[in-house]
Amino acid sequence: MQNFDQLFILQCNYHRITKMLDELTAIAEHTAQIVLIEDAVFALNHPKIAAFKNIAILSSDAHLLSTPIESTVRYIDYDELADFIAHAKKVITWK
């Protein structure tokens, strides 16, 4: 399991995605691990998400997307999310 300096777990409603990404790009390193949960998966369609290299979504939320997901986006389950949290130096949750 890879260790992360920064892990951001993002969960927000659709109408807050742009604001959330504005705030995220202001404080997160481009190498941070980003996990999108629930409606936050729609951020994959936003151009600002391209600033980040390590993006994951919960497999259980993939059904929300009608367009194909970039091959660089990783699907994870709740066990893997727990591993991410255990191996991160700093965990920040965003709602």
**What's the CA gap between 73 and 13, in Å, rounded?**
20
pLDDT digits (tens, 9 = 90+) for 47-74: 999 899 999 999 888 878 766 666 679 9
Give SS3 for 52. Answer: coil
* pLDDT value of position 81: 96
| 6, pLDDT greater than 80 | yes
Cβ contact 7:33 at 8 Å: yes
**Share above pLDDT 90 across residues of the chain, in percent, rounded to a whole number:** 57
* pLDDT value of position 66: 67
Average pLDDT over residues 13-33: 91
Q: Which domain holds residue 60?
A: 4-94
Total number of domains in the chain: 1
CA dihedral (79, 64, 47, 4) in degrees, to 10, reads 0
Write the CATH number for 29. Answer: 3.40.1260.10
List Cα–Cα distances, 62 to 25, 53, 65, 88, 95, in angstroms.
23, 19, 6, 24, 19
Confidence band of 1 (pLDDT split at 50, 70, 90): low
